[in-house]
Chains A and B, each alone.
Chain A
Amino acid sequence: SYELTQPPSVSVSPGQTASITCSGDKLGDKYACWYQQKPGQSPVLVIYQDYKRPSGIPERFSGSNSGNTATLTISGTQAMDEADYYCQAWDSSIVIFGGGTKLTVL
C-alpha cells in the first residue's frame, strides 16, 4: 500500500522560512495537498494540487512537488502558524494521509 512519510517535528524561528517535507514513491507523479490543524480544531486546507492556495490562505504558504518529495514552505513564519501539518495524496482511488508534522515556532 502507498505510504507518505513526514518528519514528526520541525522548528523555526519567527520570521524565518519553514519547510515541511512529505515523501512517497514517485509522489511527483501525483498531486499533493496540505492541511493545517491547530489544537482542538478541524483541519484546514492550505495547499492543493501541489502549489495552489485556497482563497483566504496567506501568500506566505507555498507548495511544490517533484520526484519523491512534496514540500510545504512557510515564508516569514508567524506564531499563528504553529500547528500540525498533514500532507495528502490520492493513489488508486484511495486517500492517503501522511503521519503529520508538528511545526513549532520558537
Chain B
Amino acid sequence: QVQLQESGPGLVKPSETLSLTCTVSGGSISSFYWSWVRQPPGKGLEWIGYIYYSGTTNYNPSLKSRVTISVDTSKNQFSLNVTSVTAADTAVYYCARNQEVGPTHYSDSWGQGTLVTVSS
C-alpha cells in the first residue's frame, strides 16, 4: 500500500517561494504520474500540476507562470515550488498518485495534506 507524506514550512512570507516535498513509501515512484492539489480553507479542490517519473510535467494554466514540479527518483520524492506567493496561496496542499488509464487520470492515493499559510 503506497503512502505519501507532504513536508515543508507551514508559514511563508508574501512574495517569497513556497516549497513542499512529497515522500513516497511502500512503492516506487517510477511508472506513475504524481500530482499536487490544494484546497483553500473552506473551499474546493484545485489541481496545481503533475509530473511523470521521467520528469514530464503539466500545470494548471492559472498557476503555470509561478509553479514548478520536480522529481527525485533516487529519493522517491517529488517537489512543488510556488513563487511570489500571496495570501490567496494559503491552503492545505496535498500530494497524490495519479493513475493514467487511456485518455484520463485519476488520483487513487493521497497524502494527509499540509497547511501552508502565507503571512508576514
**A is bound by B:** yes
* Chain A residues engaging chain B, CB cutoff 8 angstroms: 1, 30-31, 33, 35, 37, 42-45, 48-49, 54, 84, 86, 88-90, 93-100
Q: Does B106 contact A (CB under 8 A)?
A: yes
How many residue pairs link A and B with beta carbons under 8 A? The number is 64
Which residue, B47, B50, B112, has most C-beta atoms of chain A within 10 A? B47
Residues of B within 8 A of A42 (CB): 94, 110-113
A-B contact pairs, 20 of them (CB 8 A): A30-B104, A31-B101, A31-B106, A35-B107, A43-B37, A43-B107, A43-B110, A44-B110, A48-B101, A48-B106, A86-B44, A88-B106, A88-B107, A89-B104, A90-B104, A94-B47, A95-B35, A95-B50, A95-B105, A97-B45
Contact A49 B45 (CB under 8 A): no
Chain A binding surface, main DSSP class:
strand
Contact B94 A96 (CB under 8 A): no
Which residue, A35, A42, A84, A97, has most C-beta atoms of chain B within 10 A? A42
Please give the distance in Å from A6's CB to the nearest CB on chain B: 9
B contact residues, total (Cβ < 8 Å) = 24
Please give the distance in Å from A44's CB to the nearest CB on chain B: 7
